[in-house]
Amino acid sequence: MKTIRLGSSALQVPVVAVGCMRINSLGQAAAERFVQACLEEGANFFDHADVYGGGQCEAIFAEALHMTARVREKVILQSKCGIRQGQYDFSKEHILEAVDGSLRRLKTDYLDVLLLHRPDALMEPEEVAEAFSILEAAGKVRHFGVSNQKPMQIELLRKFVRQPLVANQLQLSITNATMISNGINVNMENEAAVDRDGSVLDYCRLHEITVQPWSPFQYGFFQGVFLGHDRFPALNQKIDEIAARHGVTNTTIAIAWIVRHPARMQPIIGTMNIDRMRDSCRASEITLSRQEWYEIYRAAGNVLP
């Protein structure tokens, strides 16, 4: 597995990260097999959140990994906090409490990365800054970032926090590519030109913040997987054609399309299927040509102006 630098940090991470939101769908033996297969592929970056399975996913992962101090050195752990029942909460007290809960469930003394999950409308950036400093000083969190935030929200945080924000986790797939299409359709009077995110992709590139695409196989908001779906015949035909050319699966090409972008993104795959995980990891070995990338982009229904 090839690696990239996470944001402006010195942390080298695998090109493909493993999302653990669905690990609670596996039994103990299956979870152990899955985690071990990830490590064999070099996919040692695991993304969590305190709300996944109500915390159960972090605990199941730690058991599946057989967490010890020696094992901990071999993995990179990221978790997220800020989502509570019926609300978002970036208060100092909640961030500190949430991190302690994640550390306890993951059976570790520290997180490599902590992300603030969904934007909290009532956020006091001074409180976030206090929480980050306490966590860093205590050695509980080494790097910090955000999730689902646009440039001005990040700028507000950056005014107060002294730690670099190294990642921004955002929804992106071939069929959910508005952060790319609005940059292509600059100055056009069409739907694709609407800037819904404040040019977040360019912003993250300018400020050395790694974009971590989530749901890289989904269309809509968890409406389903576009691969093999009869709703996207032209797209699947094109992906299958390019996959055959490279001798890989359609899963590999879907991830390779994201990885090909010069922003050097780190897609978060959520599959618990070992074969699909392995196919996703192979994307780090594939470099789509410019023509192939645009052919897939257009096959998804995007029109070049």
Whether the Cβ atoms of residue 143 and residue 76 lie closer than 8 Å to each other:
no
Place of tokens 């819904």: 196
Place of tokens 């409490």: 97
Could you give the CA distance from residue 147 to residue 38 in angstroms, rounded to a whole number?
24
> In angstroms, what CA-CA distances link 149 with 33, 50, 165, 213, 305?
34, 18, 12, 12, 28
Could you give the CA distance from residue 160 to residue 157 in angstroms, rounded to a whole number?
6
Q: How many CB atoms are located within 10 Å of the residue 115 CB?
A: 26
Could you give the CA distance from residue 10 to residue 4 in angstroms, rounded to a whole number?
10
Give the relative orientation of helices 250-259 and 274-281 as an angle to the nearest 10 degrees.
Answer: 40
Tell me whether strands 141-147 and 165-171 are parallel, antiparallel or unpaired.
parallel
Task: Give, in degrees to the nearest 5, the angle at Cα 107 between 31 and 119.
Answer: 85
**Which residue in the list 52, 203, 219, 297 is annotated as catalytic?**
52
**Alpha carbon of residue 120 to chain centroid:** 19
What φ, ψ does residue 235 adopt, rounded to 5°? -65, -45
Listing DSSP states for 36-51 in one string gives HHHHHTT--EEE--TT
Is residue 297 part of the annotated active site? The answer reads no
Catalytic residue ranges: 52
